[in-house]
Structure 1
Amino acid sequence: MSLKIGGTIEKVNGKELFYSEFAEKYLAGNQPVLLTGLMDDWTASKHWVSSNGQPNLLFFPTHFGKSKVQVADCDTREFTDQKRIEMSVSEFVNHWLQGSKGNHDVNGKSVLYLKDWHFVKEYPEYQAYITPLFFTDDWLNLYLDNYHMHDDLDADRVSNDISCSDYRFVYMGAKGSWTPLHADVFRSYSWNMKNTVYNIFDDISETEFPGFKKAIWLECIQEPNEIIFVPSGWYHQVHNLEDTISINHNWFNGYNLSWVWDLLLRDYKEAKEYIEDIKDICDDFEGLCQRNLAANTGMNFNDFFIFISRFSLANVVELYYLRGELNSESSIWHCSAIIKHFALNLSSIRKTALKMKSEGVEGNLSIINLLEALSDPKFLKLCTGLGRIYSVIHEEENWSCTMKKALMADFAMYGSQVCSPEDLITFIDYAVSKLSSNCDEQNPLLSVLYEIQPHEQNQHF
């Protein structure tokens, strides 16, 4: 099939790029980019690569050989993906070392591709790499370090996809291994480094992807020690031109949160339509739709609502603390990059909650008790992690856990229950009104959250 190649992907030296530039051009702009110069000190670059630049395969069975991993058979399709089998890392590497030619090895077996290995979770003491600064505003993995995405314990035991431990993966594949055309989970962003190169593979079905022939593609060959940023919702396909070991994160944050909701709503409608014929005989049809949604997509409406509620409170906690620290210096308050970042997050959550409300999402949601959340050690850890990430991104003060506890005791006066998107919107508005009181100069919360100009701010509350 002939592809319409519309251009290449921009390549930028990551050492010369400011975070604000990356956020504006690539996160907010949702554009791809290749970044260089960000892997110099990685342990993986030393241990996982041989002196000749090829993957150091024997390192893996020696140190991680007993790990059980999912391996894709690149020559066998199963539904919209490739057939998966479970192997140990040692078994996988032994298969690889038998040698391969083209798309089949010497024994006529398909090339295998190790995918979705939760390496960070399995080996937390082995720091293979440091997440580049540009990708640290990662709500998804920060949340999963503290909570399950889906709290149905029975479902958790049935499917790891429902309560996934994280979305930080290692991939390993011989020359000729590939990944079918797809958009990433939750329509998340992804970043990916590879020790070798890859390219677009063009065996695509027009029936499965209507309009594919009209699409304009960007083509990219990713060289060793380069990191590619894949925008939210962009379909892509990977073909490994050489033996490859790669690290991949999927994540989302305030810049693409609303797209996560859009996907969830679309998948819900499809799940509901699929079983519409049993609606009249089902005792809990909506509950069944939500369970199917969680199984297919990785979360349901309730999971997503809890997620954005906790993050809204965490962002307010950080802002409230900063307001207390900077109260006597309002000029710092209104020009601080970190405050504007928290305001952008709240704006994104509020707009997403408005979308949920417009779709009539009200019932069957968990009650979030804000006072209880403020005393929850997991939530405290979430707040601390969020503050630490943004203090590094914006090179501003970091705060200790002890200071956070003192803040939360003072913050208890804001406490109330949140049990619907409308409640969440009300809470955000209330918190912003408190944070904006006695602010004489231009208020970044109002200008970012409600897009209000300075001369209009006095009339808003």
Structure 2
Amino acid sequence: MGLRIAGHIERLNGKELTYQEFVERYLRKNQPVVLTGLMDDWRACKDWVTRDGRPNLPFFAAHFGKSRVQVADCGTREFTDQKRVEMSVSEFAEHWLMGWKPEESEIPTSDRPPVLYLKDWHFVKDYPDYVAYTTPVFFRDDWLNLYLDCYRMHMDPEMYQETDDISCSDYRFVYMGAKGSWTPLHADVFRSCSWSANVCGKKQWLFLSPSQCDLVFDRNMKNCVYDIFSDASEMTFPGFKETIWTECIQEENEIIFVPSGWYHQVQNLEDTISINHNWFNAHNLSWIWDLLSKDYDDAKEYIEDIRDICDDFEGLCQRNLAANTGMNFYDFLIFITRFALAYMGQLYYLLRGDDDTIQHSSLTVQQLALNLASIRKVATKMKDAEGFQKHRDILDTEETLSDPKFSELSIKIGNAYRMMLEPSPLSYYTAKACVDVLGDFDFLKSWSPVCTPGDLVSCIDDAVENLNRIGSKNNIHLGELV
């Protein structure tokens, strides 16, 4: 069955695009775009590429060869993904250098070694002192990775293990694959958005907009098409024939923005190295809750027949949700509560400052208020979720505010927004600027623990009322934004 391909993805020079323009034209509208001109000074584009533009595999073997990585066998399906094996980077490089090339078609299929694709390598975590690249400004409002730099995703000790897939250390990855390696059809983890930068090589992307995603599932909405070129039988996937795809060929030194909920299948047209981040923020936070809610219903339905004999049915549902999706309801509530507290503290500091501080930080104030509005909207949707009934305290506010990890998160958040939004950032070497990026949490310390989404909504409402009184002297009213 041939694919119907229509439309195109805009390609722009990233140096000629402001952050606000990116937000208005692409992030807020959930539209993909290709950005050029942003990788010129990346160390990866020099060290990782040979003079003829191919992956510098000997460099990887020599400098990073001991790292253990997950490698997909592109020719072997395992459940809904490709079969994964673990090996060292040096072993992977050796396999690639000795492997069959797609153009050598005279070699019988049975004699060809598998096409391997190194995926999800946590390179930044493995080599924090090797600065391979700089995250473009458009993608720095990254709640997911800012959080995981400071906290584990799971607080439940029964869920956490240092090396398991659930306790993912971050969502910053390096991918490496020979011509012909590929990734099956999927939407990104948590329904986050992503950005992917080609250090070398060329990729073909086939995109399907969220409005058509139901068409790639079977009649029961349980199983998704695996390979759009060979796996979409009309009997199993009756809606697939109605799909309309958008194709994009991504060249070397180009970055593609993949919005939330867009299904995509990707193939390496040349030997390729790419850097990839998954991320989300206020603009797509609701996508994450919607996925968690749907996956919770699926997890509950799957074990419904043991409800009457299960001592902790709800706890089992939440553990299964975390295992299948990457977080559960409580992980997500703790996540958004910590961010809400951080944003409140920074707003309190900024709004009670002098006129110069307010004027200098006006865009940051607007962004922080938008963030609170997004968190409040999602928490309001969460209030009626079955999974939050009769549960223990989630987060002690005073304990959180005194936690060094929370201070670290607040500083990272403050620095990120000032780099993105303020035209002439304050020097971070002064004591005043240190408070500026950390925030001021005195007015939060008397609040009760957050036990439910309703508690978080009340917490935000109380804070906004407080902040509006403080901001009124500068004619700033957060209530209009929140």
* TM-score computed with the length of structure 2 as normaliser: 0.88
Q: CA deviation at 1:37?
A: 0.2
- Aligned residue for 1:198? 203
In the superposition, relative to structure 1, how do residues 154 and 104 fare at CA in structure 2: closer, same or farther (>3 Å)? farther
* Equivalent-residue separation in structure 1 for 2:104 and 2:263 (angstroms): 26
Q: Deviations over 1:7-45 (max 9, x none)?
A: 111001000000001011111110000000000110000
Write the letter of the residue equivalent to 2:410.
C
- Aligned residue for 1:345? 371
- Aligned residue for 2:394? 367
**Which of 459, 462, 466 is the matching residue for 1:430?**
462
* Equivalent-residue separation in structure 1 for 2:122 and 2:179 (angstroms): 22
Q: Given that residues 72 and 115 in structure 1 are in contact (C-alpha distance below 8 angstroms), is that contact kept between their aligned partners in structure 2?
A: yes
In the superposition, relative to structure 1, how do residues 119 and 274 fare at CA in structure 2: closer, same or farther (>3 Å)? same
Q: CA deviation at 1:65?
A: 0.7
Q: Which moved more, 1:210-219 or 1:378-387?
A: 210-219
Corresponding residue SS for 1:305: helix
Q: Deviations over 1:296-337 (max 9, x none)?
A: 1000101000000000000101101101214x569739x911
- Aligned residue for 2:291? 263
* Equivalent-residue separation in structure 1 for 2:18 and 2:147 (angstroms): 26
Q: CA deviation at 1:205?
A: 2.4
* Equivalent-residue separation in structure 2 for 1:219 and 1:121 (angstroms): 33
In the superposition, relative to structure 1, how do residues 286 and 46 fare at CA in structure 2: closer, same or farther (>3 Å)? same
- Aligned residue for 1:130? 134
Structure-to-structure mapping, 1:261-340, within 5 angstroms: 261-326=289-354, 328=355, 332=359, 336-340=362-366
Q: Deviations over 1:34-92 (max 9, x none)?
A: 00000011000000011111111111010011111000000000011000001111111
Corresponding residue SS for 2:118: strand
- Aligned residue for 1:455? none
Q: Given that residues 72 and 84 in structure 1 are in contact (C-alpha distance below 8 angstroms), is that contact kept between their aligned partners in structure 2?
A: yes
Q: Given that residues 414 and 431 in structure 1 are in contact (C-alpha distance below 8 angstroms), is that contact kept between their aligned partners in structure 2?
A: no
In the superposition, relative to structure 1, how do residues 96 and 258 fare at CA in structure 2: closer, same or farther (>3 Å)? same
Q: How many residues align?
A: 447
* Equivalent-residue separation in structure 2 for 1:209 and 1:110 (angstroms): 28
* Equivalent-residue separation in structure 2 for 1:249 and 1:137 (angstroms): 12
- Aligned residue for 1:459? none
Q: Given that residues 121 and 175 in structure 2 are in contact (C-alpha distance below 8 angstroms), is that contact kept between their aligned partners in structure 1?
A: yes
1:419 pairs with 2:463:
no
Corresponding residue SS for 2:352: helix
In the superposition, relative to structure 1, how do residues 104 and 303 fare at CA in structure 2: closer, same or farther (>3 Å)? farther
In the superposition, relative to structure 1, how do residues 6 and 152 fare at CA in structure 2: closer, same or farther (>3 Å)? same
- Aligned residue for 1:452? none
* Equivalent-residue separation in structure 2 for 1:420 and 1:447 (angstroms): 25
In the superposition, relative to structure 1, how do residues 406 and 101 fare at CA in structure 2: closer, same or farther (>3 Å)? closer
Write the letter of the residue equivalent to 2:324.
N
Q: CA deviation at 1:432?
A: 0.7
Q: Given that residues 365 and 420 in structure 1 are in contact (C-alpha distance below 8 angstroms), is that contact kept between their aligned partners in structure 2?
A: no
Structure-to-structure mapping, 1:160-309, within 5 angstroms: 160-194=164-198, 195-200=200-205, 202-203=228-229, 204-206=231-233, 211-309=239-337
Q: Which moved more, 1:59-68 or 1:365-374?
A: 365-374
* Equivalent-residue separation in structure 2 for 1:338 and 1:176 (angstroms): 45
Q: Deviations over 1:76-134 (max 9, x none)?
A: 00011000001111111111001323299964122000000000001001111000000
* Equivalent-residue separation in structure 1 for 2:101 and 2:270 (angstroms): 11
Q: Given that residues 339 and 444 in structure 1 are in contact (C-alpha distance below 8 angstroms), is that contact kept between their aligned partners in structure 2?
A: no
In the superposition, relative to structure 1, how do residues 407 and 123 fare at CA in structure 2: closer, same or farther (>3 Å)? closer
* Equivalent-residue separation in structure 2 for 1:398 and 1:4 (angstroms): 53
Corresponding residue SS for 2:252: coil
- Aligned residue for 2:414? 387
- Aligned residue for 2:154? 150
1:445 pairs with 2:471:
no
Q: Given that residues 151 and 163 in structure 1 are in contact (C-alpha distance below 8 angstroms), is that contact kept between their aligned partners in structure 2?
A: no
1:108 pairs with 2:140:
no
Q: Deviations over 1:437-460 (max 9, x none)?
A: 1505653522211xxxxxxxxxxx
Structure 1: 5+ residue runs without aligned partners?
450-461
Write the letter of the residue equivalent to 1:181.
L
Q: Which moved more, 1:356-365 or 1:300-309?
A: 356-365
* Equivalent-residue separation in structure 2 for 1:406 and 1:269 (angstroms): 38
In the superposition, relative to structure 1, how do residues 238 and 264 fare at CA in structure 2: closer, same or farther (>3 Å)? same
Taking only the aligned residue pairs, the percentage that are identical comes to 60
* TM-score computed with the length of structure 1 as normaliser: 0.92
Corresponding residue SS for 1:220: strand
In the superposition, relative to structure 1, how do residues 193 and 402 fare at CA in structure 2: closer, same or farther (>3 Å)? closer
Q: Given that residues 117 and 181 in structure 2 are in contact (C-alpha distance below 8 angstroms), is that contact kept between their aligned partners in structure 1?
A: yes
Write the letter of the residue equivalent to 1:379.
F
Write the letter of the residue equivalent to 1:121.
K
1:38 pairs with 2:38:
yes
Q: Given that residues 343 and 444 in structure 1 are in contact (C-alpha distance below 8 angstroms), is that contact kept between their aligned partners in structure 2?
A: no
In the superposition, relative to structure 1, how do residues 104 and 149 fare at CA in structure 2: closer, same or farther (>3 Å)? farther
Q: CA deviation at 1:365?
A: 5.1
Q: Given that residues 346 and 440 in structure 2 are in contact (C-alpha distance below 8 angstroms), is that contact kept between their aligned partners in structure 1?
A: no
Structure 2: 5+ residue runs without aligned partners?
207-227
